[in-house]
A and B are shown apart, each in its own frame.
Chain A
Amino acid sequence: EAAVTQSPRSKVAVTGGKVTLSCHQTNNHDYMYWYRQDTGHGLRLIHYSYVADSTEKGDIPDGYKASRPSQENFSLILELASLSQTAVYFCASSGLGGQEQYFGPGTRLTVL
Chain B
Amino acid sequence: GEQVEQRPPHLSVREGDSAFIICTYTDSATAYFYWYKQEPGAGLQLLMSVFSNVDRKEEQGLTVLLNKKDKRLSLNLTAAHPGDSAVYFCAVSGGSNYQLIWGSGTKLIIKP
User: Which A residues fall within an 8 A CB radius of B?
Assistant: 4, 41-43, 45, 48, 58, 90, 92, 97-106
**What is the size, in residues, of chain B's interface with A at 8 Å between Cβ atoms?**
22
User: Which B residues fall within an 8 A CB radius of A?
Assistant: 31-32, 34, 41-46, 49, 89, 91, 93-94, 97-100, 102-105
Please determine whether A105 and B43 come into contact, CB atoms closer than 8 angstroms.
yes
CB-CB under 8 A from B97, the residues of chain A are: 98
11 sample A-B contacts, Cβ–Cβ < 8 Å, listed by A number: A42-B103, A42-B104, A43-B89, A90-B43, A90-B44, A98-B32, A98-B97, A98-B99, A100-B46, A101-B100, A106-B41
The prevalent SS among residues of B at the interface is strand
Min distance, Cβ B48 to any Cβ of chain A, angstroms: 10
CB-CB under 8 A from A105, the residues of chain B are: 42-43
- Additional A-B contacts beyond A42-B89, A100-B46 (5; CB < 8 A): A41-B104, A98-B31, A98-B93, A99-B32, A101-B46
CB-CB under 8 A from B46, the residues of chain A are: 100-102
Min distance, Cβ A90 to any Cβ of chain B, angstroms: 6
